[in-house]
Amino acid sequence: MGKSLVLGCLVFVLVGVLALGAWAAGTYNRLNEVDQKVTAAWAQVENQYQRRMDLIPNVVETVKGAANFEKETLEGVIQARASATQVKVDANKIKDPAAFEQFQRAQDQLGGALARLLVAVERYPELKAVQGFRDLQVQLEGTENRIAVARQDFNTASLAYNTLRKSFPTVIVANFAGFKERPYFKAAEGAAKPPAVKF
Predicted confidence at residue 16, as pLDDT, reads 84
**CA distance linking residue 118 with residue 53, whole number of Å:** 16
Any residues with CB less than 8 A from the CB of 183 and at least 6 apart, and which? 94, 97, 100, 101, 158
The pLDDT of residue 197: 37
Query: Hey, where are the domains in the chain?
Result: 8-177
Q: Tell me what percent of the residues of the chain surpass a pLDDT of 70.
A: 90
Q: Which of 58, 54, 61 is nearest to 146 (CA)?
A: 54
User: What integer pLDDT is reported at residue 69 of this predicted model?
Assistant: 65
* pLDDT over 80 at 188, yes or no: no
Residue 199 above 60 pLDDT?
A: no
d(CA 163, CA 180): 12
pLDDT tens-digit series, residues 47-101: 999 998 888 888 888 777 765 666 777 778 888 888 888 777 777 777 888 888 8
Which of the two residues, 175 and 75, has the higher pLDDT score?
A: 175
**Least trusted range by pLDDT, from 29-33, 43-47, 63-67, 141-145:** 63-67
- C-alpha distance from residue 16 to each of 3, 12, 13, 21, 59 (Å): 20, 6, 5, 8, 65
Sorting pLDDT into bands at 50, 70 and 90, what band is 132? confident
What pLDDT is stored for residue 195 in this prediction?
A: 45
Computed over every residue of the chain, the mean pLDDT equals 83
Q: Highest-confidence range of 64-73, 113-122, 187-196, by mean pLDDT?
A: 113-122
Q: For position 198, what pLDDT does the model report?
A: 40
Q: What is the pLDDT of residue 131?
A: 76
> Has this prediction a pTM greater than 0.85?
no
CATH class name, domain 8-177: mainly alpha
Backbone angles phi and psi of 12, in degrees to 5? -60, -45
